Chains A and B, each alone.
Chain A
Amino acid sequence: MKLYFKYLLILFKSQMQYRTSFWLLSFGQFFIPFTVFAGLYFLFERFGQIKGWDFFEVALCFAVIHMAFATSECFARGYDAFSGLVVNGEFDRVLVRPRSTVVQVLGSKFEFTRFGRILQSVMVLCWALMNLSIEWSVVKAITLCLMIISGVLIFTGIYIVAATMCFWTIQGIEVINIFTDGGREIAQYPLNIYQKWITKFFTYVIPFGTVNYLPLMYILGRTEGNDILHMLTPLIGSLFILPCLLVWHFGVRHYRSTGS
């Protein structure tokens, strides 16, 4: 973990060598999801609700998932951009160092410009929270934080699986966008607005449901039962990363026996 921060520091220094482009890109990252959010806003202006959810409830959902997405893009970019590492052979370098491959790959790249995107989600989050009447409690606040953290872990897990595919082929891995970008787009609305099979897939296979729909119901006071249990739902979702890591280690073994 300490090493991860050292990587973070050195790459931050690198990034600061290109200040203008950093600000420009951060600015752009701020605006890209802006039009998407504007689209959402206009749809609500016309329809008023979506299956009983009103605008600010969906905005909360939107903010949480976008924040998780942007954070994972920032800190797990090494996995997101992994195909480059394999193509130019830099992965060999990772293997001749006495540290875990996961930390080294995570540390190989950071995308600090995503701060622009994070900032936008923070603003949406604040706006939504100010306009929702929620009976806050410590448990609910923790739940909200856990939603974001688990979201980051789920996205990271998907990146890791995608990166693992690079060991076999670097073609067509854009299909994984269905789960990253697609997951983000799907999960910016509460999952119950979709057909059952989509809801099930994104709850039991890729557990976005555990970081948006289920805890959201709890925070908005639409559930009954044990608070602590509801608080822990996002944590169950974050377990998703474990099988992903397993797949990764399998992939590394394959790479070392074939040397693609």
Chain B
Amino acid sequence: MIKLEGISKSYKIARRASGLRQAAKALFYREHTIIPALNDISFSIEPGEIVGYIGPNGAGKSTTIKVMSGILVPDSGNCTIMGFNPWRDRVQYVKNIGVVFGQRSQLWWDVPVIDSFLLLRDIYKVPQKEYENNLELLVGALELQDILNSPVRQLSLGQRMRCEIAASLLHNPKILFLDEPTIGLDAVSKIAVRQFIKKINQERGVTVILTTHDMSDIEALAERVILIGKGKLLYDGKLKELRSRFGTEKTITVDYHENNYPFQIPDTTLLSWSPVRAVISVDTEVVLTSKVITQLSSKVDLIDVAIESRPIEEIIVQLYKEYQI
């Protein structure tokens, strides 16, 4: 469905001088530096996948999205999406995709949301029947009934983002690009947005490509992640594998009836201990969690056990460090 082969792209940037003399010099002469943004990026995505596209700021995420959505023409490389070349067949191609830029709005600020939707219907030439069906579906799923008639400027960020997502799905796109869809949202809105993305992926088979800095988005949505840093592709695979490769440690917190003797379980590290609670770190490659709990229950009178994986965020931080990005 989506196939990128050896995409490269670099930008030319004028250097800004500081200081009066430098500034005066810059009046006549300016230096340029060439900054590579993407370096030989290749991957392919199957229909119906949800892919998390991650990387630190300036890694080349938005550049890739721009190439895939036909905004930018790369310096070299090939890209075929649904049989189209995004930049050569722009007008034909973009009918099939929806794009949400989390930091910008595609809605008209001062008019009711529904007016924006109507205009988008005309822009995408959506047949009336199809538009009505879609609208009904989207309004229901995203709970837009009450806000459809208020101007966008009066909406909260969460409400607005729900409208933005609806707006990019009115024309039934096969692929949805989401650039930081949850940025700035509160917990409730985040969950609502995620659930909806999952839903349209499952029910309509929409392929979703998602960039975000919020790893919980990725955990909740994406089975597959693509990691990019300094314009290079660093990892492409299942989130689970990433976790098992880098996140084999788990933390077990146990509460028990008062016990005044510290205990030790083989192959684990005791992180903290008190008469009623202990926190233990376990490497699951060395010993199974279930075994640890069995041993625990023989030593103390257990009340409650909580097992936490190492947060994905930490794994990513470690990854960034490892790749020095």
Footprint of B on A, CB under 8 Å? 2-3, 6-7, 10-11, 13-15, 17-18, 88-90, 92-93, 95-100, 104, 253, 256-259
A259 with B106: CB separation less than 8 A = no
A92 with B71: CB separation less than 8 A = yes
Most buried by A among B12, B66, B109: B66
The docked-state distance in angstroms from the alpha carbon of A257 to that of B71 is: 9
Decide: A98 near B95, CB < 8 A? Known: A90-B104, A92-B101, A93-B106. yes
Q: Is B70 at the interface (CB under 8 A from chain A)? A: yes
Q: Is B87 at the interface (CB under 8 A from chain A)? A: yes
B124 with A259: CB separation less than 8 A = no
- Using CB atoms, name the residue of chain A closest to B69: A96
Main secondary structure of the interface of A (DSSP, over half): helix
Known A14-B110, A256-B87; further 8 A-B contacts with Cβ < 8 A: A17-B151, A90-B104, A92-B101, A93-B99, A95-B90, A98-B124, A257-B73, A259-B71
Q: Is B94 at the interface (CB under 8 A from chain A)? A: yes
A98 with B92: CB separation less than 8 A = yes
Q: Is B111 at the interface (CB under 8 A from chain A)? A: yes
The docked-state distance in angstroms from the alpha carbon of A22 to that of B57 is: 42
* Interface flags, B71-105, vs A, CB<8A=1, else 0: 11100000000000001001110110101010010
Q: Is B119 at the interface (CB under 8 A from chain A)? A: yes
Picked from A7, A88, A89, A96, the residue with its CB within 8 Å of the CB of B70 is A96
B122 with A2: CB separation less than 8 A = yes
Q: Is B273 at the interface (CB under 8 A from chain A)? A: no
Q: Is B283 at the interface (CB under 8 A from chain A)? A: no
Q: Is B43 at the interface (CB under 8 A from chain A)? A: no
A99 with B91: CB separation less than 8 A = yes
- Using CB atoms, name the residue of chain A closest to B96: A98
Decide: A259 near B111, CB < 8 A? Known: A96-B71, A97-B124, A99-B123. no
The docked-state distance in angstroms from the alpha carbon of A28 to that of B255 is: 75
B11 with A258: CB separation less than 8 A = yes
Q: A-B pairs with CB below 8 Å: how many?
A: 76
Picked from A10, A15, A259, the residue with its CB within 8 Å of the CB of B72 is A259
B119 with A7: CB separation less than 8 A = yes
B11 with A88: CB separation less than 8 A = no
B63 with A259: CB separation less than 8 A = yes
Q: List 13 A-B contacts (CB under 8 A).
A: A10-B111, A10-B115, A10-B116, A11-B108, A13-B110, A15-B110, A92-B101, A93-B104, A97-B124, A98-B125, A258-B11, A259-B63, A259-B66
* B307 CB, min distance to chain A CBs, angstroms: 44
The docked-state distance in angstroms from the alpha carbon of A111 to that of B168 is: 28
A89 with B104: CB separation less than 8 A = yes
Decide: A17 near B110, CB < 8 A? Known: A93-B101, A256-B71. yes
* A102 CB, min distance to chain B CBs, angstroms: 12
The docked-state distance in angstroms from the alpha carbon of A6 to that of B124 is: 13
* A96 CB, min distance to chain B CBs, angstroms: 5
The docked-state distance in angstroms from the alpha carbon of A236 to that of B100 is: 44
Most buried by B among A18, A95, A100, A104: A95
- Using CB atoms, name the residue of chain B closest to A92: B71
The docked-state distance in angstroms from the alpha carbon of A15 to that of B101 is: 25
B73 with A256: CB separation less than 8 A = yes
Inter-chain contacts of B106 with A (CB < 8 A): 93
Decide: A258 near B12, CB < 8 A? Known: A95-B90, A99-B123. yes
Inter-chain contacts of B90 with A (CB < 8 A): 95
Decide: A3 near B87, CB < 8 A? Known: A14-B109, A96-B94, A98-B94. no
The docked-state distance in angstroms from the alpha carbon of A6 to that of B116 is: 10
The docked-state distance in angstroms from the alpha carbon of A97 to that of B123 is: 7
